[in-house]
Chain A
């Protein structure tokens, strides 16, 4: 790892001031599970300045505020997995966090890092988009809040400028009657990177009809997006194996249409369809949504 100037601010104010002073060329360090690997790769362009935000205690919170769950960017995957607030209000996020890396990685890796690194395989992002998450960016000029669904430009690139710090993630806790699940396909059980994943959040009314659906495939598109075509297919209908299989085929067709047919299509086409079907089925058998 090449040398750099190290700054460890004690507050958000100091952190954004440091980012501003360095004209957006500094790099923000949180848990370090991605960056410490990147910085040791041969030939990598090392940032001249590293702003370590890990000492800013106010960025660690996991809390419920009215109908919303608020997360500080330093909340680790392990803390999300174990948090009562997350397990009761957004179990789908706890489940997704539990599939990341190993216990050691989950004890260091943060939700802020997972979002800001912008890797298409980031496992917390599909559930967060399905939950309707927004993110708050802070800079010396003030703050702005954006929808996570519009936050990514391309793999490893977000709309945040180099002077902005992610300071909060906010989403509504799941309401009664809301079902959710996350399914990940990877090569092995531990320390595995998502090949494909699917997050789904489905609301059902008293008569059992689907009133709202959000389906977000992970590691499939260049940037994450909800598959509205499949969501619209589900709304107003009763859950059934046939319906879920059809939704799977629709998601698969949408992904293939965007990425184009390539060597992996023969594999991906049936696999995406099956993963979506399984994720929707799991909403009704092994629900990670509202406990009621």
Chain B
């Protein structure tokens, strides 16, 4: 039995090389080994979306990815959105629209929104709602979140 496997991947733009037990999830690797706790552990069964990260540019539940499966691939967490401490327009829009209440769902919401905005330049309200359908917000601030993402898309298009 291999106790650990060597893993190298790109995390928030920087190369990572470490040994991981094969039965570890990407979520546990990020939070407990690497110490990036922005990604949240909610349901741990792929239903709440709090653990959403980007894997090769697409939103995935990090609780349902085996850590060794990200070998050679690119992972972006919420920490990767503002590496220099300057918020992105998407994050600014969340603040401006009151889209952050308790904040627990926010990292996952941001990552799902980023996947959408990276692939769709003018998303409709329906597309925005579908993009965050896998992210639960128990404060039920969905309307503000949808408005924030609509605004972020507009800001992105104006800046272009």
Contact = CB atoms under 8 A, between A and B. Distances in A.
Interface in B36-57: 44-47, 49, 52, 55
A107 B23 contact: no
A54 B69 contact: yes
Interface in B1-59: 1-3, 5, 21-23, 25, 44-47, 49, 52, 55, 58-59
Contacts of B63: 36
A230 to B, nearest CB: 33
Contact of B22 (A4, A102, A104, A189): A4
A37 interface: yes
B71 A105 contact: no
A47 B131 CA distance: 35
A9 interface: no
B58 A52 contact: no
A103 B59 contact: yes
A6 B5 contact: yes
A4 B25 CA distance: 13
Given A104-B46, A104-B52, A105-B61, A190 B66 contact: no
A32 B66 contact: yes
Interface in A32-51: 32-33, 36-37, 39-40, 48, 50
Given A8-B68, A32-B69, A103 B1 contact: no
Contacts of A189: 133
B124 to A, nearest CB: 15
Interface size grouping (class) on chain B: 20 to 34
B45 A37 contact: yes
Contacts, number: 93
B122 interface: no
Contacts of A107: 55, 58-60
B96 interface: no
Contacts of A37: 45-46, 64
Nearest to A191: B47
Interface in A1-41: 1-6, 8, 29, 32-33, 36-37, 39-40
A195 interface: no
Interface in A269-290: none
Given A36-B66, A52-B66, A191-B47, A103 B134 contact: yes
A104 to B, nearest CB: 5
A8 B71 contact: yes
B77 interface: no
Interface of B: 1-3, 5, 21-23, 25, 44-47, 49, 52, 55, 58-61, 63-66, 68-69, 71-72, 112, 115, 130-131, 133-135
Given A3-B3, A8-B68, 8 more contacts: A1-B23, A3-B21, A5-B2, A6-B2, A102-B135, A104-B49, A104-B61, A191-B47
